[in-house]
Amino acid sequence: MSKIKYELLHVDKYSKARRGRIHTPHGIIETPVFMPVGTNSTVKGLTNDQIKNIDSEIILSNAFHLFLRPGMEIMKDFEGIHNFMNWNKPLLTDSGGFQVFSLKDRKISEEGVLFRSPLDGSKIMMTPEKSMEIQQTIGSDIAMAFDECVNAKWGYEYMKDSVDRTYRWAKRSFEAHKKENQSLFGIVQGGLFSDLRQRSLEQITSIPFDGFALGGLAVGEKYQESEKVLKEFGDKLPKDKPRYIMGIGSPTMMFLSVENGMDMFDCVLPTRMGRHGTALTWNGKLNLKSAKNKFDHSPIENDCNCYACKNHTRGYINHLLKRDEMLGKTLISIHNLYFNIHLIHKMREAIENDSFLDFKKEFFSNSSYPLQN
């Protein structure tokens, strides 16, 4: 099989939540799915075995960072990222759009974005064609079109021009993409303006991409603002293709996204929090650095089947964190990713039983996570 194929299995009776399956060249992904982030071709602090043991079906990596380091010469020499990091399951790369636009010193033109390399200051031109070349060299199963990530604060007129430019770049991405065993997703932009979101959605979905993403969310907007976009546009994305919302990973936002028909999410949150000593549990967040864990013989979470909880106590992990031992961060990262992935597993079961909204209610009444944030 060359490209991905999406199968819609079931839609929850009382919400737009959907249960699906994506067939990829490196195996099957059940959806909804949470994708751990491996920016530098490593999910920070975890071995591939550890990633697989938390039941991760797909990981995400970053075209922009891999382009800078190790660079495409090395990526070519190793014949792509799967060989390079010895990962034999599905992998998605983002296009680098978000990272390029986070740089201070950059200039946008019709051709693309001119920026200075954060490594040596040399000038680099990133274009849709260049982004496709990079992602094809990396060899991810799913690549993303090159789009402009716009700050909503830049105003309506700028956003309008940007939406049209993103459409032209999406067409150029689609035309430049030739790799047969790699799928390409388009990204709908438009910020928080309903008419521009609608415009972008019509433009981007007119191109026969293999899947579609909502971009430009999870960039500091209010919960109500992302909720409005998701409610209005989540289910307007084509029903027969995977739907991806970028940068989402908190329980609050994952519930909101699934409820509105989205299938795929990624976020650095579980591993970042892990490195800072905070665990995600079914009750809420737990600070393992706190001295109250010192004599605690219980695992991070009772009844959790992750490696950290099966083998180690809160007291031991507290000690590792106090001594700044890397194992402490690894153990909490394992637990946090396991938590996110298995929370999604429970959502899948609930969708199959048409009880997604009941499950959501139960989850928030039994935990301190905010229903809205």
Instruction: Give binding residues as ranges.
Output: 94-98, 147, 189, 216, 304, 306, 309, 335
Shortest Cβ 356–Zn ion spacing (Å): 24
Give min distance, CB of 307 to Zn ion, in A.
8
Dihedral of the CA atoms 134, 22, 3, 82 (nearest 10)? 40
CB of 5 to Zn ion, least distance (A): 33
User: Between 33 and 308, whose beta carbon lies closer to Zn ion?
Assistant: 308
- Nearest residue to 58 (alpha-carbon basis) of 128, 4, 132: 4
**Stretch in the footprint of Zn ion (CB under 5 A) among 12-20, 180-188, 196-204, 308-316:** 308-316
Q: Is 337 in the site for Zn ion (CB under 5 A)?
A: no
Respond yes or no: is residue 94 known to be catalytic.
yes
Q: Using CA atoms, how far apart are residues 226 and 230, in angstroms rounded to an integer?
A: 6
Distance (Å, whole) CA 340 – CA 269: 10
Contact region with Zn ion (CB under 5 A), list: 27-35, 109-117, 141-149, 298-306: 298-306
Beta-bridged to residue 39, according to DSSP, are none
Q: Which stretch binds Zn ion (CB under 5 A): 56-64, 118-126, 222-230, 332-340?
A: 332-340
Judged by CB under 5 A, does residue 304 bind Zn ion? yes
CA distance 68 to 180: 25
Nearest to 233 by CA among 206, 212, 209: 212
Distance CA 132, CA 16 (A): 33
Give the span between the Cα atoms of 89 and 97, in whole angstroms.
Answer: 24
Based on the shown chain and the rule CB under 5 A, indicate whether residue 335 belongs to the binding site for Zn ion.
Answer: yes
Q: Which is nearer to Zn ion, 213 or 309 (CB)?
A: 309
- Rounded-to-integer distance, Cα 177 and Cα 116, Å: 25
* Least Cβ distance, residue 338 to Zn ion (angstroms): 5
> Which CB sits closer to Zn ion, 54 or 75?
54
Q: Which is nearer to Zn ion, 51 or 306 (by Cβ)? A: 306
Residue positions forming the annotated binding site for Zn(2+): 304, 306, 309, 335
- Interface segment toward Zn ion; rule CB under 5 A; list 2-10, 19-27, 100-108, 331-339: 331-339
Judge whether 12 counts as a catalytic residue.
no
Q: How far is the CB of 143 from Zn ion (least distance, A)?
A: 33
Among 35, 306, 337, 341, binds Zn ion (CB under 5 A): 306
Query: Annotated binding site for substrate: which residue ranges?
Result: 94-98, 147, 189, 216
- Type of residue numbered 220: G
* Location of structure tokens 């499950």: 359
Are 77 and 86 spatial neighbours (Cβ–Cβ below 8 Å)? Answer: no
Considering the complex, what minimum distance in angstroms separates the CB of residue 358 from Zn ion? Answer: 25
**Residue 216 and residue 197: Cα distance in Å, rounded?**
10
Q: Which stretch binds Zn ion (CB under 5 A): 152-160, 174-182, 190-198, 305-313?
A: 305-313
Active site residue: 12, 94, 141, 263, which one? 94
- Contacts with Zn ion by CB under 5 A: the residue count is 5
Taking the least distance from each CB to Zn ion, the nearer of 89 and 335 is 335
Q: Which of 12, 141, 210, 266 is catalytic?
A: 266
* Residue from 17, 145, 288, 309 in contact with Zn ion (CB under 5 A): 309
Contacts with Zn ion by CB under 5 A lie at 304, 306, 308-309, 335
- What are the catalytic residues? 94, 266
